[in-house]
Amino acid sequence: MKIKHVLGILLIFVFCNSAFAFGRAILTESYFEDNFELELQSGVLFPGYNDVQIPGTVDGTRFSLRDDFKPDNEIFFRISLQYSINDRHHLTFLYTPNKIDASGILKNDITFDGITFLTDTKIDAQYIFNTWRLQYRWDFVLTDTVEFGMGLTFFIRDAEISLQNVDDSDNKASYDNIGYVGLVNFRLMLKFSKTLSMLLTGDLFAVSVGRAEDVFIGLMYQASKEFAFQLGYRLVEGGADNDKIYTFTLINYLAVGLVYNF
C-alpha cells in the first residue's frame, strides 16, 4: 500500500473525528445517536478495456493495457463514512483506491509521454486511479418498500499510468494527474422484507470530452440494528479525450461489504 493511500485513510479519520467533535460541542449527545454509518467494501476487481494515448495527438501511440499487456486481477477496498443530518439529508466522505498491474512483451513500438518503447521489449505497466469524494444526498422518497435519493458529489482524482522497461531501468515513463469534478449521485433501495433489500447506488458525470460512472448493484442483508452485509457487482468506467490525454477504462468488481450504524 502506497504512502498516499495511508494518508487518504488518515485524512478520513481526521476529518470524521473533527466533524464529530465539533458537532458534539454544539449539540446534545442524543442528537448523534445512530446518525453515522461506516461502510467497508472489498473483493476482487477484474480489468476490462483500458485504452491509453499520451499525448492524445499523433505524437502518442494508442495502446491497450488489457490487449497489449496481461493485467492482473486485484484485491480492492473502499471506505466511507456517512453522517445523516436527518432521515432525508446525508453527507458522506468516501475514499476509493484502485491499482492494476500488468506486464507483457511489446508487439509494436509505443511512444508514451515522450518516451519510446521498442518492439519485443518486456514492459511492466501500472494503472492507478484513486478518488476522494464528498457527497450530499437528499432522499425525497421514503416509504416502507422504497427509498430513493439524489445529490451532488465533489470528486478528486489522483491518477497515474506508468510503463517500465524490465531490462533497462532508465527506459521508463510515468504520467500522473490530479483533477477535480462535480458528479451527480443517486441511491435506490427496494425493500423485499425487514432484513433483505436490493441496493442500486452510484455517481455519474458526462461531458463532450469525458465521462465517469461508478455504479453498484447488489443485495443487502440487515442482520441487526447496527450491522448489515452487502454482496453485489460494481462497475467503474470513464475517461477523457483531448490533446493532452486519451484514456478510457472499464473495471468490474465482485464486492462484499459491511455496514455499521452507530
Instruction: Read off the pLDDT band of 12 (50, 70, 90).
Output: low
DSSP characters over 224-251:
SSSEEEEEEEEEEEEEEESSS-EEEEEE
Query: What is residue 2's three-state secondary structure?
Result: coil
Conformational region of residue 52, where left means phi above 0, alpha means psi within -120 to 50, and beta covers everything else: beta
pLDDT in tens, 37-80: 999 999 999 999 999 999 999 999 999 999 999 999 999 999 99
Q: What is the mean pLDDT of the chain?
A: 91
* Residue 58 near residue 86, CB atoms below 8 Å: no
**Eight-state DSSP code of residue 72:** P
pLDDT in tens, 177-186: 999 999 999 9
What is the pLDDT at residue 10?
53
Q: Model-level pTM?
A: 0.86
Instruction: Read off the pLDDT band of 30 (50, 70, 90).
Output: very low
Query: Above 80 in pLDDT, residue 15?
Result: no
What is the pLDDT at residue 26?
47
Instruction: Read off the pLDDT band of 2 (50, 70, 90).
Output: low
Which whole number is the average pLDDT over 94-109? 97
pLDDT in tens, 104-159: 999 999 999 999 999 999 999 999 999 999 999 999 999 999 999 999 999 999 99
Domains and CATH numbers, the chain: 36-261 (2.40.128.90)
Instruction: Read off the pLDDT band of 242 (50, 70, 90).
Output: very high
Query: Above 90 in pLDDT, residue 201?
Result: yes
What is the pLDDT at residue 27?
47
Q: What CA–CA distance (Å, rounded) separates 33 from 23?
A: 12
